[in-house]
Structure 1
Amino acid sequence: MTVQINVRDVVTQEKEQQGYAVRPNLGLTEAGRNAKGVAGACCPIPIDEQPSLAANDLCDIRNGRAEFILPEIEDGSVDLVITSPPYNIGKEYENALSLAAYLEWMGAILRECHRILAANGAMCWQLGNYVSAGEVIPLDLYFIPMLRALGMKVRNRVIWTFGHGLHCSHRLSGRYETVIWATKSDSYRFDLDAIRVPQKYPGKRHFKGPKKGQLSGNPLGKNPGDVWDIPNVKHNHPEKTAHPCQFPEALVERLVRALTAPGDLVIDPFAGAGTVGVVCNRNGRRSILIEKESAYAQIARQRLEVSLTRRSMRVANPP
């Protein structure tokens, strides 16, 4: 039986008196509350550590925990949620939880994301694996049912493949992760022309029949399909920052361009080094970035300032 409790129950009155911010109505099950480490994932942060670090008029960076900041956002105001959440594998910027507690935490975040999503909006969750005692558990096996339970409709399970990563000695080395794209309704935006890729034979023409002599493929390129070969961000990658696990701009850009229009609002509840904001700036989309680590929020702000400068230079000096 699932017993809903309020996140306030996890926080002592003493902490509230010390000036910590607690947002009500963020549910956890009794099992989730008691799981080892859940306090680390859901503990409050001081109010003075939650400033809004506005880099420019397109992007709003909010330094704090997603479970406290998401409730501040208006219902139905967001066009796209795109994020790469912590994988709960005990990296220095994560709090390792039991799988059950981790999924409870993610479930609460998903419910808030669903609430703020516009009727024609979409979510894209870039997911890896939960690894425990040598066992590999693909996280999308759990996220897809959670999305469907909210009424979301999964449109694609994109395979993101990359050539480099950790080398395993007792199993095959992992060389792909997934992106789950789900929509809130059957009315959603999808601009295929914005993300077409070059044809293998771009000049190929029909050699017979009523279309003889005409191009056999779309002159704008072909559908990129659902297997994307995009290099991941390693130490020598030009986008690399101090964040240990950032996803590439090329991956985000394909999603942003296909699923939003200029001026739309995109949110990343686990923003890391701000890749989503950088891509949105470059493409004229508004964005809200939520990041709990002050150091990474500052890196995101610096990246956005550089991005804004480059964008201004392109506008002032068109090709």
Structure 2
Amino acid sequence: MSRANFEKAKSILGTPAFEADGVLIYKMDCSDGMKMLSDELVDLTITSPPYNIGKEYEEISALDSYLSWCTNWLNEIYRLTKGDGSFWLNVGYFEVKDKGLAVPISYLLWDKSPFYMLQEIVWNYAAGVACKNRFSPRNEKLLWYVKNPKQYTFNLDAVRDPNVKYPNQKKNGKLRCNPLGKNPSDVWQIAKVTSGKNRSSVERTPHPAQFPIEMVERMMKSSSNEGDLILDPFMGSGSTAECALRNGRYVIGFELEDKYIGYAKDRITKYLTDQEESKKQTELPFAV
């Protein structure tokens, strides 16, 4: 069914800016693109929108305008999500004039759609700005929404943390811990995608705000199944697309900047090329 929905979306949206096996990326405003699509098309949405803090890909808007804009695409995501589907939203902080310096955007967006907010996850990382007059920020929020709180996909075993302190501890002769590992909890310690000489992450692209693949993978594996259709309205450097390819999902994304589409194209093409080369190596006959 997801493959059919993938093809259906392509027939509606037309020729993408970039296409690979199971990947469609459109140079299009996400609100415009999503409005073209039919209800309950996608299984899972994972995205991180502009934070309204003046990054190179955005212009700072008045607070009311920003919240109105967000409400628009949040409601479109809800409409497109299947009845048992989920939505993961990553947001950070911004300044609210005369109210606060580092106000979590999640405080202002969490109830701006009909979604049921199942849980807030804290993404904790080590790298970041060092502050002198306040504590250095080292976290962002992940809001996990579902359309139906009584029926949604959750694959805990797919994302268990194998780093267990006492993996062989028993009670009444039975292991106390699941052999696959522990529940990762609602605080995820995942490294940011860093830049700079001698400290740049392997997956780093020139994009100024890049999702780490490890974090996307935990959201994707826990909240969808192989063959599902994933949506990312703010595709950026293509982390969601690459992760979907790695994990046997279809993916549709929207992005306005040509250079970001180029970054996504480069990393997806590299991944597919590496996979093809690896396949060839495994198929080589043994020397006799």
Which residue of structure 1 aligns with residue 131 of structure 2?
Answer: 168
Change (3 A) 1:298 1:292: same
Opposite residue 181 of structure 1, the aligned amino acid is W
Which residue of structure 2 aligns with residue 144 of structure 1?
Answer: 110
Distance in 1 separating the partners of 2:71 and 2:274: 38
Q: Under a length normalisation based on structure 1, what TM-score does the superposition of the two structures give?
A: 0.78
The answer for unaligned runs of 5 or more in structure 2 is 1-13, 284-288
SS of the equivalent of 2:46 reads: strand
Q: CA deviation at 1:71?
A: 1.2
Distance in 1 separating the partners of 2:133 and 2:103: 15
Single out whichever of 134-143 and 109-118 deviates more from structure 2: 134-143
Kindly tell me the number of residue pairs found equivalent between the two proteins: 262
- 2:86 matched to 1:122? yes
Of structures 1 and 2, the larger Rg is shown by: 1
SS of the equivalent of 1:146 reads: coil
- 2:196 matched to 1:196? no
Distance in 1 separating the partners of 2:138 and 2:56: 22
Equivalent residues in 2 for 1:307-318, closer than 5 Å:
307-315=271-279
Which residue of structure 2 aligns with residue 245 of structure 1?
Answer: 209
Distance in 2 separating the partners of 1:177 and 1:92: 20
Contact map agreement 2:18 2:261 (CA 8 A) in 1? no
Counterpart of 2:220 (choices 228, 242, 256) is 256
Distance in 2 separating the partners of 1:95 and 1:225: 36
Opposite residue 287 of structure 1, the aligned amino acid is V
SS of the equivalent of 1:52 reads: coil
Distance in 1 separating the partners of 2:55 and 2:215: 23
Q: CA deviation at 1:305?
A: 1.1
Contact map agreement 1:195 1:258 (CA 8 A) in 2? yes
Counterpart of 1:61 (choices 5, 14, 25) is 25
Percent same amino acid at aligned positions? 35
Opposite residue 299 of structure 1, the aligned amino acid is Y
Contact map agreement 1:55 1:304 (CA 8 A) in 2? no
Opposite residue 157 of structure 1, the aligned amino acid is E
Distance in 2 separating the partners of 1:96 and 1:157: 26
Contact map agreement 1:61 1:301 (CA 8 A) in 2? no
Any idea what the Cα deviations from partners look like across 1:49-81, whole Å, max 9, x if unmatched?
x96134312110111211211112221010011
SS of the equivalent of 2:123 reads: strand
Distance in 2 separating the partners of 1:113 and 1:91: 24
- 2:188 matched to 1:228? yes
Q: CA deviation at 1:91?
A: 1.2
Distance in 2 separating the partners of 1:80 and 1:296: 22
The answer for unaligned runs of 5 or more in structure 1 is 1-49
Distance in 1 separating the partners of 2:276 and 2:121: 33
Contact map agreement 1:51 1:63 (CA 8 A) in 2? no
Distance in 1 separating the partners of 2:209 and 2:221: 23
Any idea what the Cα deviations from partners look like across 1:264-289, whole Å, max 9, x if unmatched?
00011011000000000000000011
Q: Under a length normalisation based on structure 2, what TM-score does the superposition of the two structures give?
A: 0.86
Opposite residue 180 of structure 2, the aligned amino acid is L
Distance in 1 separating the partners of 2:194 and 2:244: 22
Counterpart of 1:179 (choices 123, 127, 142) is 142
Distance in 2 separating the partners of 1:311 and 1:74: 34
Q: CA deviation at 1:168?
A: 2.2
Counterpart of 1:291 (choices 240, 255, 258) is 255
Equivalent residues in 2 for 1:26-175, closer than 5 Å:
52-132=16-96, 135-147=101-113, 150=114, 152-175=115-138
Any idea what the Cα deviations from partners look like across 1:209-268, whole Å, max 9, x if unmatched?
xx32x2121111110001000010110111111100111000000010111111100011
Distance in 2 separating the partners of 1:137 and 1:51: 40
Q: CA deviation at 1:310?
A: 2.8
RMSD over equivalenced CA pairs, Å: 1.7
Which residue of structure 1 aligns with residue 7 of structure 2?
Answer: none
Distance in 2 separating the partners of 1:123 and 1:263: 17
Contact map agreement 1:122 1:182 (CA 8 A) in 2? yes
Distance in 1 separating the partners of 2:29 and 2:67: 16
Any idea what the Cα deviations from partners look like across 1:128-168, whole Å, max 9, x if unmatched?
01125672211101121113xx1x21121000000011122
Distance in 2 separating the partners of 1:314 and 1:118: 36
Greater relative contact order, per chain length (Cα 8 Å cut-off, separation 6+): 2
